[in-house]
Amino acid sequence: MRCPHCDNTIPDDSVFCIECGRSVQAYTDRTRTLEAEQQRQQLPQAPQLPVPASAPSQARYQRSHRFPRRNYRHLAGGAFLIGLGVLFLTGLFWPGILGLIGLVGALEELAKGKTRAAGMSLVFFGGMAFLFATDLFWPGILILLGILALIDRTK
C-alpha cells in the first residue's frame, strides 16, 4: 500500500505512515470500501502506476531540512542567560535588554517557522535599543514604525 500523503510504501495494515507520520486510516478504510464495491459490481480495478524509487519524497526533504523546535528553545534560553550575564558585566543593561529581548523573540519565532515575525522582532527591539541609546526617541520612533510598516507590507 502507498501513503496518500507522501506516496511511500507502507504495510497494508498501517494506521500511520512510517515516513511522514500522518494518519492513513481514513484512506485505507475508504480504499477497502471502494475495493469491495468494485468487486460487487465486477468492475476492473484501475492499474497502479509504478513510482520510481529514485525520486525523493517531498515530505522527507522538508523534514530533513527543518531545525528541530526543541533546539531553538534551548538556544533561545541559553542566549537569554548569556545575554543577561553580558549586560550585567558591561553595565549596559539599559537599553541592551531591549536588544536581548528582540534576539530571544526572534529565536522563538524561528522555532515556530515564522521568519517574517523573527525579523520584525529583531528590527523593532533592536531599533528601540538604538533609539534609547542615542536619545533620538521622539523623531526616531516615527521612522522605526514606518520601517516596520514597510517590512510588514512587503510579502
Predicted pLDDT of residue 50: 65
Predicted pLDDT of residue 129: 92
The DSSP annotation for 57-110 comes to: PHHHHHHHTSPPHHHHHHHHHHHHHHHHHHHHHHT-HHHHHHHHHHHHHHHHHH
Q: Which of 15, 45, 66 is the last residue of a domain?
A: 66
Asked if residue 124 and residue 61 are part of one domain, the reply reads: no
Asked if residue 141 and residue 75 are part of one domain, the reply reads: yes
Domain that holds residue 139: 69-153
Predicted pLDDT of residue 99: 92
Asked if residue 110 and residue 36 are part of one domain, the reply reads: no
Asked if residue 75 and residue 29 are part of one domain, the reply reads: no
Asked if residue 7 and residue 82 are part of one domain, the reply reads: no
Domains contained in the chain, number: 2
Distance CA 98, CA 129 (A): 5
Indicate the pTM of the whole model: 0.51
The per-residue pLDDT for range 32-88, each reduced to its tens digit, is 666 666 666 665 556 666 655 555 555 554 444 444 445 566 778 888 999 999 999
Q: Which of 34, 66, 98 is the last residue of a domain?
A: 66
More confident residue, 95 or 36: 95
